[in-house]
Chains A and B, each alone.
Chain A
Amino acid sequence: MTQIISCDLAVIGAGLTGMAASMFAANRGIKTVQVGVTGEIIFASGFLDILGIHPISEKKPWLDPWAGMRELIQDCPDHPYSRLTPEEIQSAIEEYLSFVKDFGVPHYWEKTHNIEMMTPQGTLKLTGCVPQTMKNAVLALREKPPGLIVDIKGLKGFSSHQIVDNLKETWPDIRSASIAFPDSTHLGEIYPEYMARSLEAGISRKKLAAIILPHVKNAKIVGIPAIMGIHRSLEVQADMGSLIGARIFEIPTLPPSVPGLRLKEMFEEALPEKGVQQFLQQRVTAVLPELDNCFMLNIAGGNTQEQKIRCKGILLATGRFFGKGLTADRKRIRESLFDLPVFQPVSRSNWYRMDFLDPKGHPIHQAGLEIDDNFRPVSASGIPAFSNLFAAGSILAHQDWIRQKCGSGLAIATAYGAVSSFIKLGF
């Protein structure tokens, strides 16, 4: 007979929202099970966006994300951020940052300001926080010391020449160099993960530093692709810096990239340590509401036997289309697991605008689950579909995380809000 696993809260989803929700729940002593396929989180660049742009049609940037948020909440009272106060959102992000720091992935932020960071194409982007390994870049973009950007032969979509040409106008004293990664000439194409794991060994760092060193010359600071280790990136960074005799920083590569991988591996280690029972690479195959107001989940995946989970509440963090929380056929958009009502444009003709880069953004991104003040998806009549079903993250309606540059902030804040509501309502 199948064993039944009992818990208080079942978090469905293993993207940033699911990880953050499991963390908040574990920190509050809630017996938590997490189910989901990790995949989306490795597409993370490492940038932690809180709020960059509002209104998107005016492309208006905000140096102070909290001031931007107050205006956003006023203009868009249905935005998921408006279910929380900026203070609550800030404390949610602080709790998240302190957790990831404790488990070896510290971040850099300036709390009251967004910071400017370079993208893999050398353009600049405003974001809330960056991994600590990128901090020196943020400072260098302000101080503009003599700098060097290094790329690696065989790493596609990352050209130091292109980055330097794009940065030169604002940072004139900057050069580029292209090097071969140690012992890689037989490989041709080379992947960031391979290099990151390799650099965890001191001998690889020595070899790489020896190759970079002749290019350093007068440079006080050196930027390289994000490859400085998976688990011990600060140690790798410090050692590399002293070996080349200059400050060093990371620039994100095209996804899937190492900063995303670091988050994934860190959460997969940290959450079980905090008591979260994880069933990753598994999917929920059925959900049955029980008579006593609990849910029974069937989960399965890979070659594992089907298992059952009994929980007092569910937190849905299944994401949008790429995460498979929402699915679309030619006629309409559906929520994948419960077939919950989805707020959406009237027809497919209204999903996307004619211009991919239309400043107004695409209406489909506003589609998703509508929630009450307790982050519970509501039915057509406006009442919660289930008293103990919560939702968080990008599946929520009335936001455009891509254009508003608020993806990570939305994930963390709404996960915090949903877990808080779960507690407040006494489950």
Chain B
Amino acid sequence: MQIHKTQALIIGGGATGTGIARDLALRGVACILVERRDISAGASGSNHGLLHSGARYVLNDAMTSMECREESLLLKALAPHCVEDTGGMFVAIEGDDASYIAEFPNLCAICGIPVEAIDPKAAKELEPELSDRVIAAYLTPDASVDPFKLSLENISHARKLGATLLCHHQVLGFEMEKGRICRVRLIHTESGEEVFIEADQVINASGAWTAEIAALAGISIPMVYSQGSLLVTSDRITQRVINRLHPPGDGDILVPGGTVSLLGTTSVQIDAPDHAHPSIPEIDRIVDQASLMIPMLEFARYIRAYSGVRPLIGSHTEDGGRSESRGFAVLDHEKDGLVNFVTIAGGKLTTYRLMAEKGADLVCQRLGVSSPCLTRTQPLPDSPECQWSEPGLSPKLWFRAHNVGDMLLCECEMVPQSVVEGVISVIQEQNMKPDLKSISLRSRIGKGPCQGAFCSLRVSTYLHDRDARYSDRNLTCISDFLRERWKGLRPVLWGGQLMQAELQEALQCGLLNLELHAKELTRNDSNYFL
């Protein structure tokens, strides 16, 4: 039986949890971060990657809008390697509400967000794919952010400062005594081993799973699970973040992400966060709506779809959670009778740093640590091991190095074996077993048009050759990986991507008999969904 002792235990390896780990580590607080799956496995890895200027929320949520404004400026300055400062554009098309269009610059001014009106002709010159039916356009300071890199950099820095990361560790329960959580019971999901952690402070930063973790401590938190689905195009469509200038709805944001664009989002209330998956009607709504703004989106090739769950605190609503506040909350559970437990939930990716700061402030106050928050002034380090999630970086370096022996294992995204090798050593250093899933999370493997059809086999062969302990007997890892990719592939199977899927099945099932070797999915499998 393993028992770890620490000052602060953070539950959840998303942007908030990794942000808190870094914040606390910078203040000299010893901490352990536990994550049920892997870094960014929840909403932090399945969002738009939009660094909000705040303009989207000026009408309904001025508070969030102002927080976004301030935090996006901080991130641009302190984590420039995670941000592409694309600029943003809000456009209205024929039929959009004229009064909202007229009011927009005033609302932005109230929140302190600089906007510049440009005429539709100029807008089309800047972004040629825009519809001819654009009637109003404003330039805004929106940008895109690599959410994977952001969390990886935060945890990497925290670890350099002494924090511990335990992935694939699921919290099973809390042992409570005299109004304190004295011990947390976990299971290492890969080995099945029980692990105990004794911490002075316990921080629940589990995003969509906030209520489930709180319930283990007997605390009820009302949550709305709002699923947002997005699409990835095979090419980058616009230079800027494009927002439709109307009250937020489906399919009204297009965010560039390196060599691709991300189109979303829906807002559908679901009953449990584990059930999130993009549905075909959602995808159709997004494409139908977005094509009004950018007509070529009707004919674009989409390589995948994905869903994230917005962890919104509140009660159930009629509009799938669209109108719930995007603000965040720090819940001090002292009022619930637990003096060393705190929950940080809600919020946006853009405001993750502020959420971490507020949470860490409370924890430090309870611990009697007086050092101030440093994340507002200290730049986020740019560490080489966190760079491989960036689209287009790997081919650039591969061409530059011109090392003929360095073979490309993923040909779509041009990921050579040297990158896979680097990623494997990071994974091993984090005490995990390198497999297709963990490698793909930290690189571009499987993220191109073939969605893993070929590279899954090449990487699995490479892993085997490298170390037979990573043997993938009966192709189990490949099955898991392809099943996980399938959730995102299935809703975009038409046109070119459907041809790709047919080739994939002909190879993986037709030739390799993958379906005959694979175990049938059960309800407990992470790839099982309704």
Interface residues of A (CB under 8 A from B): 43, 45, 47, 49, 53, 59, 119-121, 123-125, 154, 156-159, 161-162, 165-166, 178, 186-189, 252, 254-255, 320-322, 324, 327-330, 348-349, 351-352, 354-357, 359, 362, 401-403, 405, 407
Contact = CB atoms under 8 A, between A and B. Distances in A.
Given A121-B475, A328-B494, A354-B490, 7 more contacts: A159-B464, A188-B406, A252-B511, A255-B511, A321-B498, A329-B495, A403-B509
A79 B184 CA distance: 59
Contact of B503 (A322, A356, A357): A322
B86 to A, nearest CB: 28
B121 interface: no
Given A159-B461, A162-B464, A321-B499, A355 B483 contact: yes
B473 A159 contact: no
A258 to B, nearest CB: 14
B483 A402 contact: no
B474 interface: yes
A348 B511 contact: no
Nearest to B404: A188
Nearest to B505: A402
Nearest to A401: B510
A129 to B, nearest CB: 15
B515 A161 contact: no
Contacts of A125: 511-513
B468 A330 contact: no
Contact of B482 (A165, A328, A356): A356
Most chain B CB within a 10 A radius of its CB, from A186, A254, A407: A254
Interface in B485-503: 485-487, 489-490, 493-495, 498-499, 501-503
Most chain A CB within a 10 A radius of its CB, from B458, B464, B487, B511: B511
A329 B493 CA distance: 9
A161 B460 CA distance: 12
Given A330-B284, A402-B505, A161 B465 contact: yes
B116 interface: no
B440 to A, nearest CB: 16
Contacts of B493: 328, 348, 351-352
A189 B521 CA distance: 37
A120 to B, nearest CB: 8
B515 A189 contact: no
A165 B503 CA distance: 27
B251 to A, nearest CB: 13
B479 A357 contact: yes
A330 B457 contact: no
A157 B490 contact: no
B224 interface: no
B98 interface: no
A161 B468 contact: yes
Nearest to A153: B405
Interface residues of B, number: 61
Contact of B407 (A49, A123, A178, A188): A188
A43 B406 contact: no
B283 to A, nearest CB: 8
Interface string B17-31: 000000000000000
B454 interface: yes
A157 B472 CA distance: 13
23 contacts: A45-B511, A59-B515, A120-B512, A121-B475, A123-B513, A157-B461, A161-B464, A165-B473, A166-B474, A188-B404, A188-B405, A252-B511, A254-B454, A321-B502, A322-B502, A328-B498, A348-B494, A349-B280, A352-B501, A356-B486, A356-B505, A357-B515, A403-B509
A354 B287 contact: no
Contact of B465 (A45, A159, A252, A402): A159
A159 to B, nearest CB: 4
A354 B505 CA distance: 14
B454 A402 contact: no
Given A254-B454, A321-B499, A357 B518 contact: yes
B133 interface: no
B506 A123 contact: no
Nearest to A151: B465
A45 B499 CA distance: 19
Nearest to A124: B513
A357 B506 CA distance: 12
Nearest to A119: B512
B471 interface: yes
B366 interface: no
A402 B509 contact: yes
A125 B514 CA distance: 10
A320 B457 contact: no
Contacts of A329: 494-495
Contacts of A157: 454, 457-458, 461
Most chain A CB within a 10 A radius of its CB, from B485, B512, B520: B512
Most chain A CB within a 10 A radius of its CB, from B454, B472, B493, B530: B493
Nearest to B411: A156
A407 B515 CA distance: 16
B499 A407 contact: no
A279 to B, nearest CB: 23
Most chain B CB within a 10 A radius of its CB, from A322, A324, A403: A322
A59 B503 CA distance: 21
Interface string B404-447: 11111100000000000000000000000000000000000000
A351 B514 CA distance: 20
Contact of A359 (B406, B461, B520): B520
Nearest to B501: A352
A125 B461 CA distance: 18
Contacts of B461: 121, 156-159, 162
B465 A320 contact: no
Nearest to B403: A188
A356 B475 contact: no
B100 interface: no
A410 B468 CA distance: 39
A157 B468 CA distance: 15
B527 interface: yes
A259 B471 CA distance: 28
Contacts of A324: 499
A352 B499 CA distance: 13
Contacts of B487: 354
A189 B479 CA distance: 27
A298 B498 CA distance: 28
B517 interface: yes
B280 A348 contact: yes
Given A121-B457, A156-B461, A186 B516 contact: no
B507 interface: yes
A329 B417 CA distance: 36
B170 to A, nearest CB: 23
Given A123-B517, A157-B454, A162 B471 contact: yes
A392 B461 CA distance: 37
Contact of A402 (B407, B408, B506): B506
A124 B454 CA distance: 19
Contact of B287 (A252, A330, A349): A330
Contacts of B465: 159, 161-162, 178
Contacts of B284: 330
B483 A123 contact: no
Interface in B91-134: none
Contacts of A254: 454, 457-458, 507
B473 A166 contact: yes
A81 B528 CA distance: 35
A41 B472 CA distance: 29
Given A43-B503, A322-B506, A351-B493, A156 B515 contact: no
A255 B475 contact: no
A187 B404 contact: yes
Contact of A355 (B405, B464, B527): B527
Given A156-B407, A329-B495, A330-B284, A123 B468 contact: no
Interface in B332-370: none
B374 to A, nearest CB: 46
